[in-house]
Structure 1
Amino acid sequence: MRRMRMSKKLTATVLVALLFVMAGCGKNEAATGLKDDQMNVVTSFYPVYFLAKSIGGDAVNVVNLIPAGVEPHDWTPKSQDLNTASKAQLLLYNGAGLETWVDDFLQGLPKDGALKTKAVSEGIALIEASGEEHAEHAEEEHAADEHAEEEHAAEEHEEEEHAHDHAGEHDPHTWVSPRSMLVMADNVLKALSEADVAHQAAFESNYKTLKERLTKLDADFTAKLGAAKKKDIVTTHQAFGYLARDYGLNQVAIMGLSPDAEPKAQDLLEIAKFVKEKGITHIFFEELVSAELAQTLARETGAETLVLNPAEGLTKEQESAGDDYVTLMERNLENLVKALQ
């Protein structure tokens, strides 16, 4: 994982250098999606896009970098993406280490440039990635042995990491909790209002409507999960730490913070034992990631599978059906309640 992040980081550095050479080749091309008669807001991925679009409304033009159906962990920007972001008036990104390319991009911007930027996860108490384990009852000594070589390799590359590159230090999946999204919505409101004072009243009106939806969602999660008999959830991807923390659940993940992480055989055995001991009836998987591991664990333990959507992006079908962050999370709540009966 460390080498993968370093590769992405170097790629971003090269692209940042190239995009400013390209920037002088013409005005905002149609392919960028930018408009000359509106404030242009570029967002890194869907949850931030949802907030910017909901609060900005008709007053802003929002361009999302990651297309529908693409897993954000697998995505790196191309020169055109960075070029688009550099020509906008506002760049909104999640932060907390999700966008591994963003630090190099921000450093490559001209010092006198007009682009404003905001990490919308600011103000959320972040979960330390180092404190997350696959199974709560795993032996500390066993874990130390398994990860010793990885930690040693990481130390060798430590000096090469940029001082502001915090990728891997925290769980970046802040938006998966409606309670966190309320904080993020407030950050987006402030960023939009500072960038376009003339439309502040419209932004505040739109924000009020969105806040009501998110507040109701938070209240529903609090009430229904608080009343659930069981509190343990088994997921393929360790993406639900903030949801678990905010609503009193215990997440046990087959894979780590990246959906590409490969679980060890010992981890799978421990989780299978955990599922049987706790009487867990459902294993959760994601729509944008292969369900094979969840299905295998379900077969081994006699459990069933259910979708728990990390809301990182919409599929094309969901986009066409008019789904958004709130409707995805409402379905998540339905499935959680079903699994925790």
Structure 2
Amino acid sequence: MSLKPARILPIIALCAMTVLSACGSGSAKSDLVEGKVNVVTSFYPLYYFASEIGGDRANVVNLIPAGVEPHDWTPKSGDIDTTSNAQLFLYNGAGLEGWMEGFLKGLGSDSKVVTVETSKGIDLIEGNPEEEGHHADEAEPNTGEQHASAEHDHSGLEVDPHTWVSPRSAMVMAANIFDAYVKADPDHKAEYESRYEDLSSRLKALDSKFKDGLAGFAKRDIVVSHQAFGYLCRDYKLNQVAIMGLSPEAEPRAQDLLQITQFVKEHDVRYIFFEELVSDQLAETLAAEAKVDTLVLNPVEGLTPEQEQAGDNYFTLMERNLENLQKALQCLR
């Protein structure tokens, strides 16, 4: 699937002009609550951070429902209507929401919603390995580079958008959300500040857990299904080799899979990581070919319905990621 905004614009324009059902979008204008700061978020991590900081002062509506991969989602007219009537619209930026340009135009000139790019201020990882022809045997540690070919379906992304997967980047995003609340509702700054400081301290503790928990491993290679862990790898000195690109549908060629299989064997990699919101077929195929096992490494792009029902959140998923990373790297000491 291409994330190029130019291909999405006609769809958004049609949605803006046509009254469509918002069924499946997880939002409707009726979701807005009078007397609260109404916040619309583009995907789960922002919904969670905004809910934690906003508390009972805010009504947070997430556009993408549980179990839907953000790269596969496009907005409906109901989503535009909800957002145009909210006070804040929080989105990741860095190219994640390929539909954003048309969506913002669809809000209309009379909308008073304040849009906030939450990745602003993060040192973004530039370049798209899908277009640069990196290979598994050329991947450099600590950069988050992936194995890919220039002949692959390009995502059109100029930077890695998966900022939130690193707790250090998540701290910046939380600070941007806090600032947005204060500007929207300055009379209750003290309340937002108290909740933000609590969230920030938990993110700092999570950062320490990753830093300490991943220290001391001699080898740093992880093989993942989707190139979503560049910021995590950069901040905690790991090297990701990915089967698919920045978009999880940027499929590899047969010869690419053979090269990754060779990389797995030569570097004594014991686990292939997959994620729950996209098919694990390629990861399972590669693991079977290389005679290794699979583990989940969650990019925390959204919750499955089961995770939602179990009360999972950003922190529980990230702590599970740490446990699985430690399990995989333990084999490589």
Give the alignment's TM-score, normalised by structure 2.
Answer: 0.88
1:168–1:267 distance in 2 versus 1, CA, 3 Å? same
The Cα of 1:134 is off from its aligned counterpart by 5.8
In structure 2, the partner of 1:44 is 42
Q: Distance in 2 between matches of 1:2 and 1:291?
A: 20
In structure 2, the partner of 1:319 is 308
Residues 204-261 of structure 1: per-residue CA shift (max 9 Å, x gap): 0000111111001001111111222320000001111110111100000001111112
AA aligned opposite 1:40: N
- Given that residues 134 and 252 in structure 1 are in contact (C-alpha distance below 8 angstroms), is that contact kept between their aligned partners in structure 2? no
- Given that residues 28 and 82 in structure 2 are in contact (C-alpha distance below 8 angstroms), is that contact kept between their aligned partners in structure 1? no
- Given that residues 138 and 270 in structure 1 are in contact (C-alpha distance below 8 angstroms), is that contact kept between their aligned partners in structure 2? no
Partner of 1:295, secondary structure, is helix
Q: Distance in 2 between matches of 1:3 and 1:234?
A: 24
Out of 77, 98, 101, the residue aligned to residue 99 of structure 2 is 101
The Cα of 1:324 is off from its aligned counterpart by 0.5
- Alignment of 1:253 with 2:242, yes or no, is yes
The Cα of 1:59 is off from its aligned counterpart by 0.4
Out of 55, 80, 89, the residue aligned to residue 82 of structure 1 is 80
Partner of 2:260, secondary structure, is helix
Partner of 2:137, secondary structure, is coil
AA aligned opposite 1:181: A
- Alignment of 1:278 with 2:267, yes or no, is yes
1:149–1:204 distance in 2 versus 1, CA, 3 Å? closer
The Cα of 1:6 is off from its aligned counterpart by 3.5
Q: Distance in 1 between matches of 2:308 and 2:81?
A: 26
**Pairs within 5 Å for 1:1-341:** 1-2=1-2, 5-18=5-18, 32-131=30-129, 135-138=135-138, 147=150, 168-341=157-330
What's the RMSD between the two structures over aligned residues? 2.5
The unaligned stretches of length 5 or more in structure 2 are 22-26, 140-148
1:196–1:18 distance in 2 versus 1, CA, 3 Å? farther
AA aligned opposite 1:208: E
In structure 2, the partner of 1:25 is none
1:330–1:134 distance in 2 versus 1, CA, 3 Å? farther
- Given that residues 175 and 181 in structure 1 are in contact (C-alpha distance below 8 angstroms), is that contact kept between their aligned partners in structure 2? yes
Residues 162-191 of structure 1: per-residue CA shift (max 9 Å, x gap): xxxxx5111111011111000000000001
1:235–1:32 distance in 2 versus 1, CA, 3 Å? farther
Q: Distance in 1 between matches of 2:78 and 2:13?
A: 14
Q: Distance in 2 between matches of 1:82 and 1:321?
A: 30
1:12–1:173 distance in 2 versus 1, CA, 3 Å? same
The Cα of 1:305 is off from its aligned counterpart by 0.3
Q: Distance in 2 between matches of 1:148 and 1:327?
A: 38
Q: Distance in 2 between matches of 1:69 and 1:148?
A: 30
Q: Distance in 2 between matches of 1:8 and 1:182?
A: 31
- Given that residues 96 and 170 in structure 1 are in contact (C-alpha distance below 8 angstroms), is that contact kept between their aligned partners in structure 2? yes
AA aligned opposite 1:55: I
Give the alignment's TM-score, normalised by structure 1.
Answer: 0.86
The Cα of 1:114 is off from its aligned counterpart by 1.4
1:325–1:125 distance in 2 versus 1, CA, 3 Å? same
Q: Distance in 1 between matches of 2:3 and 2:298?
A: 28
> How many residues were matched structurally?
316
- Given that residues 134 and 267 in structure 1 are in contact (C-alpha distance below 8 angstroms), is that contact kept between their aligned partners in structure 2? no
1:51–1:73 distance in 2 versus 1, CA, 3 Å? same
Partner of 1:129, secondary structure, is coil
